[in-house]
Copies of this chain bind each other. A is one copy, B any other.
Amino acid sequence: MLKECWENVQKAAPLVHNITNYVTVNDVANVLLACGGSPIMSDEPEDVEDITSICGGLNINIGTLCKSSIEGMFRAGKKANELGHPVLLDPVGAGASKLRTDTANRLVEEVKFAVIRGNISEIKTIANGSGTTKGVDADVADAVMEENLPSAVQFAKNLAERLDTVIAITGAIDIVADKDTAYVIRNGRPEMGRITGTGCQLSGLCTAYVVANPGHTLEAAATAVTLMGVAGEIGWSHMHALDGNSTYRNRIIDAICHMDGDILESWAKIEKM
């Protein structure tokens, strides 16, 4: 599965439309190029329908929303739906402010998402319609750990069924689920949390993978999540004594650039549940 999904991205070179935050946008663009895809960014309401029409899929990230980009998200999302392009939602900070929570909820109501990817606090906010996210990081109390993994997997499957989408919850342990099947992924490194935007980058990757693997959204999303975790581990293995989070950021994107399907499979810690 992993190798096949990876190869399909190399063949398809998917063009991904991103409406994303201005904090991590450059890394999202470079990681899309690193993985074999191609990025285009546009959030102006009058521009987004044309742009999304020439792309294969749409990545909506609410990390730094403003009134104009919110309108852009709805217009682009609906257009992508019309065209049958997969759309991903990254509800950054849902639960941390009314505007973010409301925007995420309204997006889920009005746009059909192929994948919703966030940390556990954000996904719980989506599930409950409200939340108490502490900033853009997951609340420690919510964290997915071995002890609560079965219930977290069931939560993901239930939400996937209710919203008819794939749910990707990322953290120390990642869960990618549709209503019937979940993949649990134990790749990645805790130090990735000290780099801004690894989640945003993953959302970009995930969109590219879903575009390039039509009919296999669950597998594609799980592969992208595995890829990001593996790249975090490989990137870490290339760190020198004095390297810190800024160099680590480069090392992860470099590792995605040098990935191949066999490397990905040999590092993967993924199981079906």
A positions within 8 Å CB-CB of B: 15, 21-27, 29-30, 33-34, 38-44, 46-47, 50-51, 54-55, 63-68, 93, 96-100, 134-137, 193-197, 238, 242-247, 249-258
Contacts and interface: CB of A to CB of B under 8 A. Distances in A.
B254 A244 contact: yes
Contact of A30 (B38, B136, B249): B249
10 contacts: A23-B39, A26-B27, A30-B195, A34-B246, A43-B64, A44-B66, A50-B98, A54-B134, A243-B254, A247-B254
Instruction: Please tell me how many copies of the chain the complex holds.
Output: 3
Contact of A65 (B44, B136, B197): B44
B96 A40 contact: yes
A56 B244 CA distance: 25
Given A22-B25, A51-B96, A245 B253 contact: yes
A30 B246 contact: yes
Contacts of A38: 135, 137
